[in-house]
Structure 1
């Protein structure tokens, strides 16, 4: 049964499962192996839907310090502060929906924007967010999403087509098998006006 945008937001505000997400460290290791190929430790990185901050913490522990996260769940943000106090102190964690934040962010502000199992939950009424993701991304964009699975809170999409239409070129693709997410696809996009 189709759910409204408000119902999707309410679900994720109240069902973020931060303890479950915190322990899946092989996913963060997998992600870092790609990020470090393209992004220097002094460059600005945004994670949309950071949950408890596991991915950001792994980056922080590997000397990435210019980090920002957006998270809709208050519980996840509280658990981030509790579990990763150093990260919380040195990172800009924005407690809000992506819809309320991205449209106000500066163009080309982040050298890398990435998502892990987040864009798949963006309601069709909010697909305008993809324009803003493209706008605020200066250099690289990474999506790691279930592209073909369908569920009341998962919306299948062709991320390659979406972001290539928005001025990006896909430069790498991988399955999530080594991160124990075999039905997920990692895509790395480079902004086409990037030298």
Structure 2
């Protein structure tokens, strides 16, 4: 599966892992973890960007807790219809970009966002677009949070990420996000390994 096919898979996603799926389950423990990290490191008026926001359940949780300068990037256009129905206040107040991350991130200014985070999104980016990681670092002024599946202890440490096909369907690329972002002058200040995902918190050096 090449990078175009990966983008198309998520742009047309329905059923499991679709915008409707995530809206149905709503904010969860991950939403609360992100809010707690942001509360710890940035002010409530911080500009916050979610990479791969889907229908906005994590951003809606932030809005409910006083964060108002919110933005999101999402490749699936259905997500915005679901957001308007499920989280109308977020849809009205936030700034959203209907695009693949790699198609829009280069348009942002250096340090445009005080905080940037991803939840099980960067793990699906094809190796052909790994250049986007440096762009993510470039647009992040202070705080960067990754909540991604990094694979088990048997993951290789080569430059090429290991890949796993979820339900024999779409690819999940295991990467060492500490290694990725510390190469771009970020300092890892916290890491929490969960049953599936690892939550890493970075600050700009």
User: TM-score under structure 2 normalisation?
Assistant: 0.87
Aligned equivalent of 1:55: 58
Aligned equivalent of 1:186: 199
Aligned equivalent of 2:19: 18
- Superposed CA RMSD in Å reads 1.2
Distance between the aligned counterparts of 2:55 and 2:193, measured in 1? 24
1:1-195 → structure 2 map (5 Å cutoff): 3-15=1-13, 16-22=17-23, 23-26=25-28, 27-148=30-151, 150-152=163-165, 153-176=171-194, 182-192=195-205
Specify the SS of the correspondent of 1:143.
strand
Distance between the aligned counterparts of 2:92 and 2:176, measured in 1? 36
Q: Which moved more, 1:27-36 or 1:131-140?
A: 27-36
Q: Name whichever structure is richer in helix by fraction.
A: 1
Unaligned runs of 5+ in 2: 153-162, 166-170
Unaligned runs of 5+ in 1: 177-181
Q: Which moved more, 1:152-161 or 1:19-28?
A: 19-28
Aligned length: 185
Describe the superposition over 1:36-89 as per-residue Cα deviations: whole angstroms up to 9, x where unpaired: 111211010000000010000000111100100000001112101111111111
User: TM-score under structure 1 normalisation?
Assistant: 0.91
Q: For residue 105 of structure 1, report the CA deviation from its aligned partner.
A: 0.6
